[in-house]
């Protein structure tokens, strides 16, 4: 335990000091940390799932508080919680189904269950899962032969859990932990491969001789463009430099080294150039549940320009960037104000910031926000690792990844006290 | 014990690669050794004072941690218990890869003492960062460290790298935005070596003096007045041993830096590293407290800003730079202006107006209160209708209804201001009485925790009245508790310069008029304008007279006396010449004199001894002088490195003959000859002196005429030699 504690503290520190750059790295490290938290958690005899949920929540809360601007942390924590719930449910239902089959003769407890002795464990799992959240497209497509059976099985599932034998429990607890860790491993795998999965779709979107515009720098965008280039598509890229950090310069450099025809423009020239552009492709900091995008500063302007000229505005986002919260949610910190020194040199302006004379208050105020909010109506398409989606579909996608119970992680009781 | 063992191994492995592997260490001085924050620092150490609601030391430690420092030694002196308790209960005691060790001392009165004590502890094993606990920065150390290490490899004498930053001083007040005096630095633009450092320049004179060797030795020199010293130094181990060797070094800049710059024997060099986009500043006085607070609120110190340091869930940044904790009770009609900070649990009443201020935790602010540009710490109660402008209000203060704080007021802990009472501008109010004796050198004085409460209370400010409660109350209106500290004569000028309040317009206008007058004066007097225009040189014998101001004259006189005493002791106690040289050298360093002055002073003492020893005739006097010169010629010679210094001796002798020891007047040529014989003076020096004197007034030429024969002889000898050479 002290081992994970040290790991957690170390990670907290890094988050606090803003030492981890990029959502993907943050998401991956968060998932890895939570995996070790799970593997270190002692499993009680009863209620293993809630024990796991409790320990993950406890760590998750602190992680989120350490850097609330990086929404990927919260996303991963919520996804891990969702995984635990899912695995627990499928195990319970599977065990229950097993119990059902074996207890066919001595039905002392549940008469309802006898009505459906032939239900497969998988079907029950799928069915019971669907009761915990609104049905998503995927679950609807999975075959559920008897939807009427769903409420019964799930309600009795709770009963049977309490009655299961202790020997069964211990093997199950080990199984639960094992399954959860397996699933978290899959999640980590997903996070690290999301860029390739997104890039694979590039050829479907970028066509011959098109002009693509992007702003600032995003690894995902870079790989997306390069993937199209590798598939022998020839196209041109306009890169807006992305003041004040000018990461567009780096992107332009990268693109040129990979042999792409690149034009670097200032952010303010975007509107002038947009009429020649076929498609705007940008990265995102986070995608909210309503399909709105939190993205590097300046993107709202680009989106508006694109809308004016009816240019498709495409946002690339790995699934770890999908946030189950809405932008108006009080927990969401939309922006971070960085140091004004990125905009101007302190020394040159030091005489403007002399508080010793005049009214004693600064007349010059430099604001350097990091992010913009692009409303969903300005976005034409999201490309995630699972494919392209309409902004209005995002809430559905998000429902697949998160449980409604986990949206608010802060324990009310703790804050109340 | 472990540390000592480590020290032993460190000394064995001297090769640079081994040294590079040491974890980066830092010395944090948790005491400023000044009294600028009195009366607040009588009760709490400066490093624990809240800066935008977070103790100053947290900013420093957070920066050190993020800059990759792994081991910090916090040196605590004044209120050391409070600092240690704070650090032990804080998050810093349990950080992985970042250890904070406290070193406690009760009798250190300066940074020099602190560093000497740390040297004795033997805990520093390589390059270290020297910083005081009141410094806020977000610079990256990597580059500065690398530069320092690279320089060290090339030149082992490059022992320190000072961090500087551009910051233009105000042309009117001649002080920086941090309220410190205008700083002059001469830096070699290629090597970045620091050549000259002066933070107490005399503005009235309109010029500064540089040593001419400085220009001779460096192909280019840039003189800056727009650089701010960040008080972040990257030092090598030698710095500590230098402090130990020179027991009179007290102040880091005034003694150590200037000492190294003036002294060329040891050959140690200081370099600078300029930062551009990052921030660094030290809180030196109330003005810089105000300025740096505003910089933090404006996020120049990002990521060391309150919402990041405390965690953003606790404090949120809203529009116009408003920082608000999550549970502030705010009246609907309260008006919050821009750039304010409101801490947890604070309640703010109806129609209260707040702008450009910091309000701490659990404060209660009534209705119709106006707060502008003020710093209100924790648990403060402000009743209805109070007005605060540019004030600092410490923990637990109570302002009764209608009280008014005029600009620049400092209310120390738990002071109570009575109803409708107006606290006059720039007053400092404390529950403790003002210490009656003030040290003349405020820099050396420090807030002594032992002479804290009890003693000070018994000191009577007014002498005859006992400090009972009613007497105290009368100073701050009905129901008020606290003493208003008196401003000392002459210190009033400092008050408005260093206060939290902006400088009043009338002062600025007055300063501007003064300056204009000065400039007119300067243009009227042709001599002075040329002096302010060109660089004067210190070692120029003729020019030195009018360059030196009163201070350095006094210094020189007392230096001369000291040298004389040392010399006499050496004569009477038969001290070895080598030791005498060392002693005179030490004196020279402590008085900040050039070796030119030493030669003159020693010669003066020798001649004086000759005059004072019994003699009946001029020839006897000559013999006395000859004896002394023969015995001590080595001492004198060791301070006469070049011709300039020898000329100085001749000039000194001339001066003596005219003033203090007229008996020598007759013997002038003989003594000159004697010095020439003993090879103390070279013939070049004598001839140069003669040439220089050629153009002087008749009255000045007296001695030249007397020694005409000797000089004639010298000239002929020289010519003969030349002929022989041919």
Q: What is the mean pLDDT of chain A?
A: 80
A9 vs B96: CB contact, 8 Å cut-off?
yes
CA distance B313 to chain A (A): 6
pLDDT per residue as tens digits for the range B378-432: 999 999 999 999 999 999 999 999 999 999 899 999 999 988 999 988 888 998 8
Q: What is the mean pLDDT of chain B?
A: 79
Q: Which two tokens stand for residue B195?
A: 């050549």
pLDDT for residue B435 = 77
User: For a pLDDT cut of 70, what percent of chain B falls above it?
Assistant: 82
| Cα(B218)–Cα(B585) distance, integer angstroms | 25
> Hey, which bits of B528-570 come out as E strands?
536-537
- For A10, which residue in chain B has the nearest alpha carbon? B96
pLDDT for residue B413 = 93
Residue A138 has pLDDT above 60, yes or no: no
- Which among B135, B130, B108 is positioned nearest to B445, based on CA atoms? B108
What is the pLDDT confidence band of residue A108, given thresholds at 50, 70 and 90?
very low
Query: Range with the lowest mean pLDDT among B240-254, B268-282, B479-493?
Result: B479-493
- Confirm if A196 and A223 have CB atoms less than 8 A apart: yes
Q: How far is CA B44 from CA A70, A277, B296, B363, in A?
A: 38, 64, 22, 19
Of A333, A339, A361, the CB nearest to B373: A361
Average pLDDT over residues B489-507: 76
pLDDT for residue A260 = 93
pLDDT per residue as tens digits for the range B270-318: 999 999 888 999 998 899 999 999 999 989 998 898 888 876 567 888 8
| Cα(A168)–Cα(A300) distance, integer angstroms | 56
B96 vs A347: CB contact, 8 Å cut-off?
no
Q: Which two tokens stand for residue A210?
A: 């098109």
pLDDT for residue B396 = 93
Is residue A310 within 8 angstroms of chain B, CB to CB?
Answer: no
- Which among A8, A2, A124 is positioned nearest to A64, based on CA atoms? A8
* A contact test, residue of B181, B286, B298, B305 with most A CBs within 10 A: B298
- Confirm if A9 and B96 have CB atoms less than 8 A apart: yes
Query: B285-309 burial string, b = 16+ CB within 10 Å, else e?
Result: bbbbbbbbbbbbbbbbbbbbbbbbb
pLDDT for residue B16 = 46
pLDDT for residue B489 = 57
- Confirm if B354 and B348 have CB atoms less than 8 A apart: yes
Of B138, B165, B317, the CB nearest to A337: B317
Residues of A in contact with B179 (CB under 8 A): 356
What is the maximal distance between C-alpha atoms in chain A?
92
Write the DSSP assignment of A321-336 as a string of letters: GB-SS-TT-TT-----
| Cα(A154)–Cα(A131) distance, integer angstroms | 8
pLDDT for residue B374 = 93
- Which among B303, B299, B378, B91 is positioned nearest to A62, based on CA atoms? B91
pLDDT for residue A153 = 41
| Cα(A361)–Cα(B502) distance, integer angstroms | 9
pLDDT per residue as tens digits for the range A344-375: 888 888 878 777 666 667 788 888 988 999 99
Is residue A340 within 8 angstroms of chain B, CB to CB?
Answer: yes
Q: How many whole angstroms from its chain centre is CA B327?
A: 43
As separate numbers, helices (DSSP H) first and strands (DSSP E) second, chain A gives 16, 10
pLDDT for residue B608 = 79
pLDDT for residue B78 = 84
Q: Which two tokens stand for residue A344?
A: 């101007």
Q: How far is CA A157 from CA A90, A160, A163, in A?
A: 10, 5, 10
What is the maximal distance between C-alpha atoms in chain B?
104
Residue A280 has pLDDT above 60, yes or no: yes
B168 vs A350: CB contact, 8 Å cut-off?
yes
B167 vs A347: CB contact, 8 Å cut-off?
yes
Is residue A345 within 8 angstroms of chain B, CB to CB?
Answer: yes
CB within 8 Å of A318: residues ≥ 6 apart: A23, A24, A27, A191, A194, A195, A198, A220, A384, A385
Question: Considering the entire predicted model, what is its pTM?
Answer: 0.73
What is the pLDDT confidence band of residue B162, given thresholds at 50, 70 and 90?
very high
Write the DSSP assignment of B394-409 as a string of letters: -TT-EE-TT-EE-TT-
pLDDT for residue B11 = 40
B338 vs A365: CB contact, 8 Å cut-off?
yes
What is the pLDDT confidence band of residue A191, given thresholds at 50, 70 and 90?
very high
Residue A49 has pLDDT above 60, yes or no: yes
- Which among B436, B400, B426 is positioned nearest to B415, based on CA atoms? B400
What is the pLDDT confidence band of residue B630, given thresholds at 50, 70 and 90?
confident
Is residue A193 within 8 angstroms of chain B, CB to CB?
Answer: no
Of residues B540 and A381, which shows the higher confidence score? A381
Residue B215 has pLDDT above 50, yes or no: yes
- Which among A98, A114, B397 is positioned nearest to B386, based on CA atoms? B397
- Confirm if B100 and B93 have CB atoms less than 8 A apart: yes
pLDDT for residue B181 = 83
Residue A410 has pLDDT above 70, yes or no: no
Is residue B313 within 8 angstroms of chain A, CB to CB?
Answer: yes
pLDDT per residue as tens digits for the range B369-381: 999 999 999 999 9
Domains defined along chain A, listed by start: 195-401 (3.40.50.10470)
- Mean pLDDT: which of B466-480, B556-570, B697-711 is highest? B556-570
A231 phi and psi, to 5 degrees? -85, 20
| Cα(A232)–Cα(B681) distance, integer angstroms | 88
pLDDT per residue as tens digits for the range B710-724: 778 877 777 766 655
| Cα(B232)–Cα(B251) distance, integer angstroms | 15
Of residues B47 and A10, which shows the higher confidence score? B47
pLDDT for residue A170 = 56
pLDDT for residue A413 = 37
Residue B439 has pLDDT above 50, yes or no: no
CB pairs under 8 A between A and B: 117
Of residues B596 and B290, which shows the higher confidence score? B290
pLDDT for residue B446 = 42
Query: Range with the lowest mean pLDDT among A112-121, A148-157, B694-703, B712-721?
Result: A148-157
Q: How many whole angstroms from its chain centre is CA B90?
A: 31
CA distance A86 to chain B (A): 30
pLDDT for residue B462 = 38
CB within 8 Å of B717: residues ≥ 6 apart: B683
Residue A147 has pLDDT above 50, yes or no: no
Query: Range with the lowest mean pLDDT among A246-255, B195-204, B209-218, B302-311?
Result: B195-204
């Amino acid at each position: 335990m002290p081992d994970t504690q040290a790991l957690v503290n170390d990670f907290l520190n890094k988050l606090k000091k803003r030492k981890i750059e990029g959502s993907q790295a943050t998401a991956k490290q968060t998932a890895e940390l939570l995996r070790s938290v799970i593997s270190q958690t002692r499993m009680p005899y009863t209620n293993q799932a809630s024990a796991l949920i409790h320990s993950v929540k406890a760590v998750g809360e602190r992680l989120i508080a350490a850097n609330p601007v990086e929404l990927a942390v919260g996303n991963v924590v919520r996804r891990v919680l969702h995984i635990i719930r899912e695995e627990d449910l499928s195990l319970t239902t599977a065990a229950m189904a097993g119990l059902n089959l074996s207890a066919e003769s001595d039905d002392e407890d549940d008469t309802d269950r006898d009505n459906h002795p032939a239900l497969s464990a998988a079907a029950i799992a799928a069915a019971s899962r669907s009761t915990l959240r609104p049905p998503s497209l995927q679950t609807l497509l999975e075959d559920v032969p008897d939807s009427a059976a769903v409420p019964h099985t799930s309600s009795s599932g709770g009963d049977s859990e309490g009655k299961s034998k202790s020997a069964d429990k211990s093997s199950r607890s080990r199984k639960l932990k094992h399954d959860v860790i397996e699933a978290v491993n899959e999640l980590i795998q997903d996070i690290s491969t999301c860029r390739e999965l997104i890039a694979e779709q590039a050829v479907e979107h970028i066509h011959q001789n098109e002009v693509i515009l992007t702003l600032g720098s995003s690894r995902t965008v870079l790989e997306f463009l390069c993937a199209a280039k590798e598939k022998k598509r020839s196209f041109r890229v306009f890169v807006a430099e992305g003041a004040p950090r000018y990461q567009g310069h780096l992107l332009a450099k990268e693109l040129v080294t990979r042999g792409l025809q690149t034009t670097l423009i200032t952010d303010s020239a975007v509107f002038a150039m947009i009429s020649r552009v076929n498609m705007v492709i940008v990265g995102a900091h986070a995608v909210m549940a309503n399909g709105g995008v939190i993205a590097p500063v300046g993107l709202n302007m680009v989106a508006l320009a694109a809308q004016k000229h009816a240019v498709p505005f495409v946002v690339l986002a790995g699934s770890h960037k999908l946030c189950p919260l809405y932008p108006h949610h009080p927990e969401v910190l939309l922006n971070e104000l960085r140091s004004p020194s990125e905009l101007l040199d302190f020394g040159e302006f030091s005489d403007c910031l002399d508080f010793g004379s005049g009214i004693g208050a600064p007349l010059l105020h430099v604001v350097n926000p990091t992010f913009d909010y692009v409303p969903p109506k300005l976005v034409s398409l999201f490309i995630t690792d699972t494919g392209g989606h309409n902004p209005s579909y995002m809430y559905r996608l998000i429902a697949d990844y998160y449980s409604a119970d986990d949206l608010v992680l802060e324990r009310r009781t703790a804050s109340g006290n | 014990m472990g540390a000592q063992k480590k020290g032993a191994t460190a000394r064995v492995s001297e090769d640079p690669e081994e040294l590079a592997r040491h974890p980066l260490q830092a010395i944090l001085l948790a005491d400023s050794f000044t009294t600028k924050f009195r009366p607040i620092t009588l009760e709490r150490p400066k490093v624990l004072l809240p800066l935008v609601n977070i103790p100053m030391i947290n900013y420093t430690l957070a920066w050190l941690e993020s800059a990759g420092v792994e081991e910090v030694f916090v040196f605590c002196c004044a209120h050391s218990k409070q600092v240690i308790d704070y650090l032990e209960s804080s998050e810093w005691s349990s950080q992985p890869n970042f250890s904070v060790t406290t070193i406690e001392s009760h009798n250190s009165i300066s940074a020099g003492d602190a560093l000497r004590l740390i040297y004795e502890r033997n805990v520093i094993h390589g390059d270290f960062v020297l910083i005081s606990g009141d410094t806020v920065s977000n610079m990256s150390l990597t580059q500065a460290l690398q530069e320092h290490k690279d320089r060290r490899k090339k030149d082992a004498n490059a022992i320190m790298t000072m961090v500087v930053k551009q910051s233009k001083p105000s042309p009117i007040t001649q002080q920086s935005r941090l309220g410190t005096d205008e700083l002059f630095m001469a830096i070699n633009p290629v090597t970045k070596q620091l050549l000259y450092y002066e933070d107490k320049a005399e503005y009235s004179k309109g010029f500064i003096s540089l040593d001419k060797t400085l220009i001779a030795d460096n192909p280019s020199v840039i003189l800056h007045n727009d650089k701010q010293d960040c008080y972040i130094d990257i030092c090598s181990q030698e710095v500590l041993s230098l402090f130990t060797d020179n027991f009179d070094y007290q102040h880091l800049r005034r003694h150590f830096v200037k000492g190294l710059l003036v002294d060329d024997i040891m050959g140690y060099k200081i370099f600078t590293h300029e930062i551009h986009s990052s921030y660094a500043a030290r809180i030196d006085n109330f003005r810089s407290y105000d300025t740096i607070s505003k910089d933090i609120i404006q996020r120049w110190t990002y990521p060391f800003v309150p919402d990041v340091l405390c965690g953003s869930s606790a404090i949120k940044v809203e529009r116009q730079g408003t920082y608000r904790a999550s549970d502030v009770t705010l009246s609907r009609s309260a008006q919050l202006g821009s750039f304010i900070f409101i801490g947890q649990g604070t309640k703010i009443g109806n129609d209260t107006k707040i702008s450009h201020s910091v309000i701490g935790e659990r404060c209660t602010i009534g209705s119709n209160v106006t707060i502008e540009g003020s710093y209100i710490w924790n648990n403060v109660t402000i009743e209805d209708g109070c007005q605060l402008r540019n004030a600092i209000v410490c923990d637990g203060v109570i302002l009764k209804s209608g009280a008014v704080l005029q600009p620049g007021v400092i209310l120390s802990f738990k002071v109570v201001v009575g109803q409708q009472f107006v606290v006059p501008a720039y007053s400092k109010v404390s529950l403790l009485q003002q210490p009656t004796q003030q040290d003349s050198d405020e820099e050396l004085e420090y807030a002594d925790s032992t002479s804290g409460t009890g003693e000070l209370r018994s000191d009577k400010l007014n002498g005859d009245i006992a400090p009972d409660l009613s007497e105290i109350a009368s100073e701050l209106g009905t129901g008020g508790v606290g003493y208003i500290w008196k401003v000392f004569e002459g210190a009033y000028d400092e008050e408005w310069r260093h206060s939290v309040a902006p400088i009043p317009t009338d002062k600025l206008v007055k300063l501007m008029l003064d300056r204009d007058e000065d400039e007119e004066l300067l243009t009227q007097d042709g001599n002075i304008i040329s002096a302010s225009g060109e660089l004067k040189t210190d070692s120029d014998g003729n020019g030195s007279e009018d360059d030196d101001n009163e201070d350095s004259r006094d210094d020189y006189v007392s230096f001369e006396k000291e040298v004389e005493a040392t010399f006499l002791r050496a004569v009477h106690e038969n001290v070895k010449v080598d030791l005498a040289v060392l002693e005179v050298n030490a004196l020279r360093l402590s008085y900040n004199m050039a070796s030119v002055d030493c030669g003159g002073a020693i010669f003066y003492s020798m001649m004086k001894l000759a005059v004072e020893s019994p003699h009946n005739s001029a020839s006897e006097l000559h013999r006395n002088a000859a004896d002394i010169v023969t015995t001590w010629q080595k001492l004198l010679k060791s301070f006469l490195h070049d011709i300039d210094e020898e000329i100085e001796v001749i000039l000194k002798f001339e001066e003596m003959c005219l003033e203090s020891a007229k008996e020598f007047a007759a013997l002038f040529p003989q003594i000159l000859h004697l010095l020439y014989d003993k090879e103390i003076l070279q013939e070049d020096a004598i001839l140069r002196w003669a040439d220089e004197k050629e153009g002087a007034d008749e009255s000045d030429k007296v001695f030249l005429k007397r020694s005409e024969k000797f000089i004639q002889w010298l000239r002929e000898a020289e010519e003969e030699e030349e002929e022989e050479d041919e």
